[in-house]
Structure 1
């Protein structure tokens, strides 16, 4: 990427657009726009935002569905000098409103279909005819520093991503432009995306992995491929997108890879696994005929810190080595570096380190601490992750030092879910845990209700769903009369599953005579996928603990056993298993 000039995202993008103005920049459905067109549209909107007071370190909330407009809006905010706060419109409105209340952005940019109640923040409806006309009246050439409300420098804020909080309050990670040049250098030297390549934008915009997708596509001269959320669900929908759009580069978490068939997808391309521990089985399947990499890095750095690859199933699955501009230390409790092959806590430093947590100086001070090994005044992030280093410098992840977990590639603080459950008036005590591994990993909750409260597990799941995104909703909420206790009187978390489920999980039943009708097969497969003893025709799949991953596994099993391609959309749209069985029968 020697042609790239600049140290902020807008400068780097404009450098790319100047080299390949006619190359396709973004494609969505049947529409593709070039780098010149994307740059022009973003410049015009940026000038309108500057007129609204957006400048360096201004925070602008963005609530726009997946589309070309989403990319234009993000670029416009950055070109104006501001920073974007991404709000995924599929999230519960309560959670989006809480982010707005905490961040207090200068503006909210949304579409006419995206409404957020209770947000006392000036807003612009980007697809309103008046605003579109106002943008068209602006000049489309690149914005120069003198047009902004202040000089945009690398130290200025670029985005704020909210992550789960252990106290029940999500926290916003404030990331600057400082780490972008080294991020681009790392992507260039390891992944080699460029003109003619097609980069999938898979991650929700509310996660920093989406910024990796944007950077890998738009700062390399490749084409960024956008698709609707339903089309990116793991399994057959995602595979169809990979094949139909001839995707050459994709970043996907292990759980998604474990559910999606690799045949004919990303042939000769590049796949990167990140967000959770990768397994040899996944590497064996996805590294054949492709280059495969493994990455590591929390939200508190600019997307990542280390990278490994190309990897094969013959390798120990490491998280690799620090990428360009990053420093990784393995330290003990006294902040002393541990010897090779001895476990320690991972501390992250370098150009990509976040500024800290938005409006949370106390929390920032506890996690972003002075770096005794770096330049004077530098800091390092205490990740809470543990690992070890091989003699050749390769790093290996071994687990967490606290209650933070990764489920389906999402970072979750179990305490936030416990706090949400405890907010229900019928709940006395709530404990949340993760059971199972990788694709089978589930968030589960155990609750002791107040005496005389007739609350049910289904009611508590609905309560949580009003405030938390899908990946944080417990698959099951089990009511207990009392919690198992350890000798010191604390709740024995390890004994929760045993005490709540005294009967060992039943083995997967073999098909029996009379069990081959679509309806019977559906009910049997649902019990096996969810690990339930039985289901009723009037049950709702999602109230039983289903989620998007469950739906992917269910439709895959149905296709294998009945030879029927059951659309995942049909599963989401039906209210009961009986209705789903009727839809399945119609396809048969």
Structure 2
């Protein structure tokens, strides 16, 4: 009972008639879902999938995505999630680095080129082949080998400090303790609805899936556009009657708390939870705060219900896990003293896929556990209160959290420096929560436009890692020891500080027609001095969270219902202004 298939089947046996998956088009009950998963699993076994074999999955958010992941696990394999929205270069790297035995995709996802054999799951002929297979549970003897807790469950790629992403290999061994922790704190069950918010390329998505499908609750799947912080997310929470949601602080900060999740449960994770968020979300609902790196089974600590908006802790270790606060000599520090956080216990990952040196550096011997046990050196700083509660105190290295995403600035710097015109590159984060963004600084050996450098980064890295702005310097400021003085780098967003004080408020713009007002709103949202009708919102440095804010500001200013999709698809600000004018005249 310590693998995902065994835990899931135990829920199906008791809750077969309950709804398991809900999306915009259909609802699948537990029994029907299990039947479809079993049939696809048998097909995958026939294609050579078994324990410790890796299967890539590239599909948009839908019920079919969950069927595919569960089928991979039922077959005994481990899934490698590939977000179809990622740059082709990054997807190709993950495929070549992980070397999966098979790739599953839907017809809406373009072929990914050279790599493993691909199966198109919504192809009518393939569906007919699966439908002809038995639908009862896959027995151990049907697999290529018996599935055990130590076998691989998934591989999630994280940003790498050397410029190369690392695949974290996580086994089934921590799943039972994770499910027990979820049951003890979040208490989801039959009749509840759990939102699947996180991208499948992040381990937080597995938390959503297990919180629902290992408890008897229903997992709600909606398109990514309906999950954008702000009105889209609020509308989804209300429309589907969500009772449990795990969201990063940036989503909580941008989304209205009125009328949603009332009497339900919300959990903040992925970044530091603030007192403002606690005051906003803890009334009328149970609120928790969680912590944990990708190198463990999703998380390591949970705290709550949080009511006090004072010093917000990350709680206590999960069932079956331990968190140590240690000094440089690996000795425990006294309560209240800051040290580095180390994690041990059932949730620990195997290490980094095919990166033995990196694994040895971060997964070290546990001097407090039984012989042969390991602990993970997180690089996070923290302290323990006198009552045992843990508190997060920041990073000890160059890794940062950006709007809930874990980012190694070194990977961005490496990509910038790979441009033939760049001599030296530095990346830093400016702003907080929804306004957090990467800014790049370079010195060059030849003339180059900042926009070309952003495009160069976007060819290889996900959108959240592309610098909002790149500044070309004649030379870098340095410290006495000759190292770059990051604190002295010029702030390209300095012009925005006065802007947010109301000097360029859109409603006060003296202009005729809505085009000038839309440009002014864009300037205000992005905190930039200039924005013209021929500019593209995202090329100016905008991201999806700011796009939802832009749509809300336009709705408030013009009293028109402008969809977030219109903002996302507008090629220029002028095209966006034309859409506003069309609605005003209509």
Query: Aligning the two structures, in what range does the TM-score lie when normalised by the shorter sequence?
Result: over 0.9
Of residues 12, 30, 38, the one that matches 2:33 is 38
**Deviation (angstroms), 1:181:** 0.4
**Deviation (angstroms), 1:564:** 2.5
Separation in 1, partners of 2:390, 2:509 = 53
Of residues 568, 571, 580, the one that matches 1:584 is 580
Check if 1:14 corresponds to 2:14: no
CA contact (8 A) 1:281 1:313 kept: no
User: 5 Å matches for 1:449-460?
Assistant: 449-451=444-446, 453=447, 455-460=448-453
Check if 1:120 corresponds to 2:112: no
CA contact (8 A) 2:341 2:377 kept: yes
**Deviation (angstroms), 1:354:** 0.3
SS across alignment from 1:497: coil
Match of 1:3 in 2: none
Of residues 355, 362, 369, the one that matches 1:360 is 355
Check if 1:64 corresponds to 2:59: yes
SS across alignment from 1:505: helix
Check if 1:540 corresponds to 2:533: no
Of residues 450, 454, 468, the one that matches 2:461 is 468
CA contact (8 A) 2:250 2:403 kept: yes
Change (3 A) 1:422 1:314: closer
**Deviation (angstroms), 1:382:** 0.2
CA contact (8 A) 1:161 1:174 kept: yes
**Cα shift readout 1:369-415 (whole Å, capped 9, x = no counterpart):** 00000111110000000011100001110100000000010000001
Separation in 2, partners of 1:236, 1:105 = 38
Check if 1:506 corresponds to 2:502: no
**Cα shift readout 1:202-230 (whole Å, capped 9, x = no counterpart):** 10000000000000010110000000011
Separation in 1, partners of 2:457, 2:111 = 19
Match of 1:482 in 2: 475
Match of 1:234 in 2: 229
Count of equivalent residues: 580
CA contact (8 A) 1:283 1:311 kept: yes
User: 5 Å matches for 1:52-451?
Assistant: 52-451=47-446
SS across alignment from 1:221: coil
Check if 1:557 corresponds to 2:553: yes
**Deviation (angstroms), 1:565:** 2.5
CA contact (8 A) 1:92 1:465 kept: yes
Separation in 2, partners of 1:9, 1:513 = 57
CA contact (8 A) 2:265 2:286 kept: yes
**Deviation (angstroms), 1:351:** 0.4
**Cα shift readout 1:510-537 (whole Å, capped 9, x = no counterpart):** 4436348532332222111111112111
CA contact (8 A) 1:97 1:116 kept: no
Separation in 2, partners of 1:314, 1:294 = 12
SS across alignment from 2:154: strand
CA contact (8 A) 2:266 2:288 kept: yes
- Provide the aligned C-alpha RMSD in A: 1.4
CA contact (8 A) 2:267 2:287 kept: yes
**Deviation (angstroms), 1:474:** 0.7
**Cα shift readout 1:117-170 (whole Å, capped 9, x = no counterpart):** 443211211112222111111100001111111110000000000000001110
SS across alignment from 2:497: coil
Give the TM-score taking structure 2 as reference length: 0.97
Separation in 1, partners of 2:288, 2:102 = 38
Give the TM-score taking structure 1 as reference length: 0.97
Separation in 2, partners of 1:63, 1:504 = 39
CA contact (8 A) 2:243 2:261 kept: yes
**Deviation (angstroms), 1:313:** 3.9
CA contact (8 A) 1:93 1:116 kept: no
Which range is displaced more, 346-355 or 315-324? Answer: 315-324
SS across alignment from 1:566: coil
Separation in 1, partners of 2:514, 2:496 = 28
**Deviation (angstroms), 1:501:** 6.8
User: 5 Å matches for 1:493-532?
Assistant: 493-498=486-491, 505-507=497-499, 508-509=502-503, 510=505, 511-512=507-508, 514-515=510-511, 517-532=513-528
CA contact (8 A) 1:173 1:357 kept: yes
Separation in 2, partners of 1:257, 1:531 = 21
For structure 2, which runs of at least 5 residues remain unmatched after alignment?
Answer: none
Change (3 A) 1:578 1:149: same
SS across alignment from 1:506: helix
